[in-house]
Amino acid sequence: MLIEAHEAFFVARRSRKDSPHTTAAYRRDLAGVTARLAEVLERDAAGIELSEVSAQALRAAFGVFADTHAKSSVARAWSTWNQFFQFCVADGLAPGNPMGAIGRPRPAPLSPKPLRGERTPEQLLAAIAGGARRARRPWPERDLLVLALGLVAGLRASEMRALRRSSVVGRPGERRLFVHGKANRERSIPIEAPLERVIEAYLASCAARFPSARFSAESPLVLGSDGEGIGRGALDYLVKACFRGAGMHDRVPAGANLHALRHTFATRLAEDGANAVEIMVLLGHASLNTSQNYIDATGKERRAAAASNRTYRALAELAGEGPAGQ
């Protein structure tokens, strides 16, 4: 059965020590396309035999899947199924890998999506600290912490949710965040006194908000309104509500939301002279090319090249600035 092969695939991956987020993403990709396969084959997903998953059926299923998913999601699902069939072939469960017959979206080049406006990060933090986000039970300390973790530590949503109280390590003035990133890659991010104070104020607000709660070193750092670790949807909604409350929703690139905070962190690093290796280490990138994109996006080299155009001299005279060099 196809479902049994899926479970065998995850058993085989246990030695790879995938993070819970990676495993959950694989399961979503397999389940999502399997549901479309069931539609194509007109039968219950639990009853599909692995031998029935032909290139033609899989191509049709991916086509239906692509109708309701973004290009990046389809590409990720293609990769997951490709790995699944590589396992099946190696384990003797399938005679071959049909994924070569399935079209795969070409990945778009990374285009950083930082918040628009030079002073937007500072204005956003000030507005939220001042209670700009409206809620039944306002929690500005928590909102400010989430924004700060994105803007000055560059954390992904999954990394924020994975933080524990024990993730803040070191002596006062030398503290850092111990972060579990993608594919179980770990990194240590130095944090300065302002973020230390934000964290301390937030922890004090937790004690006041949940007086009967017994928090331990392994309790989630970022909490939801119920005192438990914040959920993925709730975190996404929180950030969107902060943008709306601060009147800055129009400064967020389409599709970015919380990731716009991380992109702003990386872009400012590049603008202030950080090299690709430093950006790679701080953001937990797997590839140096990803980090280099932020440097390229700042356009300093391109601006210098454009400014060297001799025609600018004539344009300067027409604009009343006088010949270049005067």
Looking at the chain, the number of H-run helices and the number of E-run strands are 14, 3
Compute how many other C-beta atoms are within 10 angstroms of the C-beta atom of residue 140.
19
**pTM of the shown model:** 0.67
* Integer Cα distance of 309 and 74 in angstroms: 43
Average of pLDDT values for 116-142?
A: 94
Task: Give the domain extent around 210.
Answer: 120-256
Q: What is the pLDDT of residues 185-215, one digit of tens each?
A: 889 999 999 999 999 999 999 999 999 999 9
For residue 224, being part of any structural domain is answered with yes
Range among 14-23, 141-150, 180-189, 279-288 rated most confident? 141-150
Q: Taking a C-beta distance cutoff of 8 angstroms, is the pair 115, 124 a contact?
A: yes
Q: Are both 125 and 243 inside the same structural domain?
A: yes
Long-range contacts of residues 165-170, Cβ cutoff 8 Å, at least 24 apart = 165/203, 165/215, 165/216, 165/217, 165/218, 165/219, 165/220, 165/221, 166/217, 166/218, 167/221, 168/199, 168/221
Mean pLDDT rounded to a whole number for the chain: 89
Q: Are both 49 and 150 inside the same structural domain?
A: no
> What phi and psi values does residue 309 have, to the nearest 5 degrees?
-60, 125
Q: Give the CATH number, domain containing residue 17.
A: 1.10.150
Helices (H), 18-139: 20-41, 55-67, 71-90, 120-129
> E strands within 191-282?
none
Q: Taking a C-beta distance cutoff of 8 angstroms, is the pair 37, 53 a contact?
A: yes
Residue 20 has pLDDT above 90, yes or no: no
Q: What is the pLDDT of residues 81-113, one digit of tens each?
A: 999 999 999 999 999 999 999 998 886 666 788
Residue 99 confidence (pLDDT) = 95
Q: Are both 152 and 209 inside the same structural domain?
A: yes
Residue 39 confidence (pLDDT) = 95
Residue finishing a domain among 206, 231, 256? 256
Domain count, the chain: 2
Nearest to 297 by CA among 114, 152, 115: 114
